[in-house]
């Protein structure tokens, strides 16, 4: 439920019309495999995003934003490390993946700071709307 509510609110805030976004929750082994296949990194990670506006078929559909993949075990570990709920960690990861689908990048310090600023803004909006505490 939190996934749907979060994404609906993010879509509303970003004023997107009928976007298509898929979210897949996986274990660390599946995430490691995806991370290696698509990023050549032989380790698990918390979230991967696959924007459909990039790549070989950027015009597959005007409303198709892409896919977000989240590792539940990694999210759980991170929630414990950050001393907040798994629910909040999942929202943070959804925001991060969502922004990647919109074209945000975190490959340089400047871009990372811009993305982190927007992540904080969106988390605040979600808290104000009561989606997450």
> How big is the CA angle at 89 (ends 128 and 11), to the nearest 5 degrees?
50
CA distance 105 to 98: 11
The pLDDT score that the predictor gives to residue 1 is 76
> How big is the CA angle at 41 (ends 23 and 35), to the nearest 5 degrees?
15
Question: Which of helix, strand or coil describes residue 106?
Answer: coil
The pLDDT score that the predictor gives to residue 55 is 65
CA distance 132 to 104: 23
pLDDT in tens, the chain (133 residues): 788 999 999 999 999 999 999 999 999 999 999 999 999 999 999 999 999 877 666 677 778 899 999 999 999 999 999 999 999 999 999 999 999 999 999 999 999 999 999 999 999 999 999 998 8
Exposed/middle/buried for residue 72 (C-beta within 10 Å: 0-12, 13-18, 19+): middle
Exposed/middle/buried for residue 124 (C-beta within 10 Å: 0-12, 13-18, 19+): exposed
CA distance 21 to 127: 22
């Amino acid at each position: 439920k939190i996934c749907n509510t979060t994404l609906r609110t993010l879509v509303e805030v970003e004023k997107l019309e009928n976007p298509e976004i898929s979210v897949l929750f996986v274990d660390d082994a599946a995430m490691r495999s995806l991370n290696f296949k698509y990023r050549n990194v032989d380790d698990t990670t918390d979230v991967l995003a696959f924007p459909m506006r990039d790549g070989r078929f950027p015009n597959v559909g005007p409303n198709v934003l892409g896919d977000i993949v989240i590792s539940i075990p990694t999210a759980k570990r991170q929630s414990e490390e950050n001393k907040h709920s798994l629910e909040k960690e999942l929202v943070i990861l959804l925001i991060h993946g969502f922004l990647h689908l919109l074209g945000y990048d975190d490959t340089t310090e400047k871009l990372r700071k811009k993305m982190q600023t927007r992540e904080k803004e969106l988390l605040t909006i979600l808290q104000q709307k009561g989606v997450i505490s």
